[in-house]
């Protein structure tokens, strides 16, 4: 019996399936072998996986007609298995910054859920995509057409959507291998001890609150997570930072900065929606509370996105403006830090 395991990347929608071929296995085409062992996969998906190097045997790409042998180590990148929901098209506007026959890049608004789930069956990005586009690839499930990666509901910023099966597989491999490039801008409470640094620590579901993630430094739980950051501007009470992810875990930036004592400004789930730096001086308190009203979410924006185009073979890079709600708070802290200008309250 082959050994079948999976490893999930939390912010993507794909897993690696690893199979060790049984010692008694007779030579058999790999597409037939996999169809027999992974019910949700089709021969067409296997062929696409081969073309995009998402199917490896003994660490090397193979063609669909490769014949497996006893002891072969197979690794396949496939969509994670989720219960599918019926998707109803909804006329929700999309901010599309680039589009061609293979893909589109859009700027997701804060408050927009990416795909349906429990409690969010309508009003999602997927409902909008179903209305504006037809025949998006469903290799990740009919309830997630074209979706390659996630952003939290309250996080704004750039996302890429695949329009073909080939593009979907090609982009998924890049995100899984971390060859794509993404930077985030965030406002955090206080000033990190090191203006530029690396945050490491396993991230897993909190043992006390299943809605949030926790950091486990000794690695006894969760999965390895690495966030690099640099300070863009310090305002004394809060700091504007740029982040890059070397791994992609759920709520990674939010959990990591909470762990080092600098939660994201306004983040209700990680304690950033309270005054964590400064005094309780009445006017200062009012200033901060007004900022919370202007930015009723975590101060996090996926600002840049870069990836290799699936068919053109060129590396494409996109940049986006900080959204108005977050920029207004940045401007107010800038003014306050320079002048302690209480007129800004």
Q: Between 155 and 50, where is the model more confident?
A: 155
As a whole number of angstroms, the distance between CA 153 and CA 177 comes to: 24
Query: Which stretch of 37-41, 159-163, 341-345 has the lowest confidence by average pLDDT?
Result: 341-345
How would you write the chain as a 3-class SS string? Answer: CCEEEEEECCCECEEEEEEECCCCCCCEEHHHHHHHHCCCCCHHHHHHHHHCCCEEECCEECCCCCEECCCCEEEEEEECCCCCCCCCCCCCCCCEEEECCCEEEEEECCCCCCCCECCECCCCHHHHHHHHCCCCCCCCCCCCCCECECCCCCCEEEEEEECCHHHHHHHHHHHHHCCCEEEEEEEEECCCCCCEEEEECEEEECCCCCCCEEEECCCCCCECCEEEEEEEEECCCEEEEEEEECCCCCCHHHHHHHHCCCCECCCCCCCCCCCCCCCCCHHHHHHHHHHHHHCCCCCEEEEEEEEECCCCCCEEEEECCCCHHHHHHHHHHHHHHHHCCHHHC
Of 261, 243, 241, the residue nearest 252 (C-alpha): 243
User: Does 7 have pLDDT greater than 70?
Assistant: no
Mean pLDDT of 123-144: 86
User: Which pLDDT band, with edges at 50, 70 and 90, does 340 fall under?
Assistant: low
Copy the structure tokens of residue 175: 């995100």
pLDDT of residue 1: 32
User: Are the beta carbons of 63 and 50 closer than 8 angstroms?
Assistant: yes
Phi, psi of 47 (to 5 degrees): -65, -40
User: Are the beta carbons of 289 and 164 closer than 8 angstroms?
Assistant: no
pLDDT of residue 5: 30
Nearest 10 degrees: Cα torsion 211, 217, 222, 226:
90
User: Does 74 have pLDDT greater than 60?
Assistant: yes
The CATH code belonging to domain 183-302+323-344 is 3.30.2350.10
Average pLDDT, the chain: 87
pLDDT of residue 14: 64
pLDDT in tens, 201-222: 999 888 788 789 999 987 778 8
Measured at the CA of 261, the angle between CA 187 and CA 225, to 5 degrees, comes to 85
Strand pairing partners for 243?
184, 229
Domain spans in the chain, listed from the N-terminal domain onward: 3-79, 96-177, 183-302+323-344
pLDDT of residue 130: 92
Which residues lie below 8 Å from residue 220, measured CB to CB, with a gap of 6+? Answer: 202
Query: Tokens 């409470």 sit at which residue?
Result: 189
Highest mean pLDDT among 40-49, 50-59, 107-116, 322-331: 322-331
Active site residues: 152
pLDDT in tens, 286-317: 999 999 999 999 999 999 999 999 999 999 99
The CATH code belonging to domain 96-177 is 3.30.2350.10
Highest mean pLDDT among 2-16, 115-129, 226-240: 226-240
Class of domain 3-79: alpha beta
Mean pLDDT of 254-271: 96
User: Does 53 have pLDDT greater than 70?
Assistant: yes
Q: 96-177 and 183-302+323-344: same fold?
A: yes
> String of b and e for 11-40 (b: at least 16 CB within 10 Å)?
bbbbbbbbbebeeeeeeebbbebbeeebee
As a whole number of angstroms, the distance between CA 234 and CA 213 comes to: 27
User: Which pLDDT band, with edges at 50, 70 and 90, does 3 fall under?
Assistant: very low
User: Does 255 have pLDDT greater than 60?
Assistant: yes
Phi, psi of 92 (to 5 degrees): -105, 125
User: Are the beta carbons of 230 and 181 closer than 8 angstroms?
Assistant: no
Q: Between 342 and 82, where is the model more confident?
A: 82
User: Does 155 have pLDDT greater than 50?
Assistant: yes
User: Which pLDDT band, with edges at 50, 70 and 90, does 110 fall under?
Assistant: very high
pLDDT cut 70: percent of the chain above it? 88
As a whole number of angstroms, the distance between CA 157 and CA 320 comes to: 7
Q: Look at strands 300-308 and 156-162 and give their pairing.
A: parallel
Highest mean pLDDT among 43-57, 241-255, 296-310, 326-340: 296-310
Mean pLDDT of 322-341: 90
């Amino acid at each position: 019996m082959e050994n079948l395991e999976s490893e999930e990347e939390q912010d993507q929608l794909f897993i690696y399936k690893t199979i060790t071929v049984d010692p008694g296995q007779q030579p058999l085409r790999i597409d037939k072998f996999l169809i027999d062992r992974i019910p949700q996969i089709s021969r067409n998906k296997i062929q696409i996986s081969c073309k995009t190097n998402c199917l490896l045997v003994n660490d090397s790409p193979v063609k669909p007609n490769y014949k497996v042998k006893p002891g072969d180590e197979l690794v396949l990148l496939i969509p994670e298995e989720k219960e599918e929901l019926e998707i109803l098209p909804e006329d929700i506007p999309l901010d599309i910054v680039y589009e061609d026959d293979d893909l589109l890049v859009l700027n997701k608004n804060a408050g927009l859920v990416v795909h349906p789930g429990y409690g969010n069956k309508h009003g999602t990005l997927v409902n909008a995509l179903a209305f504006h586009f037809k025949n998006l690839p469903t290799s990740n499930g009919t309830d997630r057409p074209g979706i390659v990666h996630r952003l939290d509901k309250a996080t704004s910023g750039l996302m890429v959507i695949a329009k073909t099966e080939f593009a979907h597989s090609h982009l998924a491999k890049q995100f899984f291998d971390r060859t794509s490039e993404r930077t985030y801008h965030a406002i955090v409470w206080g000033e990190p001890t090191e203006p530029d640094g690396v945050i490491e620590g396993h991230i897993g579901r909190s043992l006390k609150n299943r809605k949030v993630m926790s950091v486990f430094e000794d690695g006894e739980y969760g999965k390895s997570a690495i966030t690099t950051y640099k300070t863009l501007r310090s305002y004394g009470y809060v700091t504007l930072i740029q982040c890059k992810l070397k791994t992609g875990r759920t709520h990674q930036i939010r959990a990591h900065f909470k762990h080092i004592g600098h939660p994201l400004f306004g983040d209700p789930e990680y304690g950033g929606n309270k005054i964590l730096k400064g005094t309780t001086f009445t006017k200062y308190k009012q200033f901060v509370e007004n900022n919370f009203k202007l930015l009723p979410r975590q101060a996090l924006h996926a600002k840049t996105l870069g990836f290799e185009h699936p068919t053109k073979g060129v590396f494409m890079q996109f940049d986006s403006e900080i959204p108005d709600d977050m920029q207004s708070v940045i401007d107010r802290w800038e003014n306050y830090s320079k002048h302690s200008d209480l007129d800004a309250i």
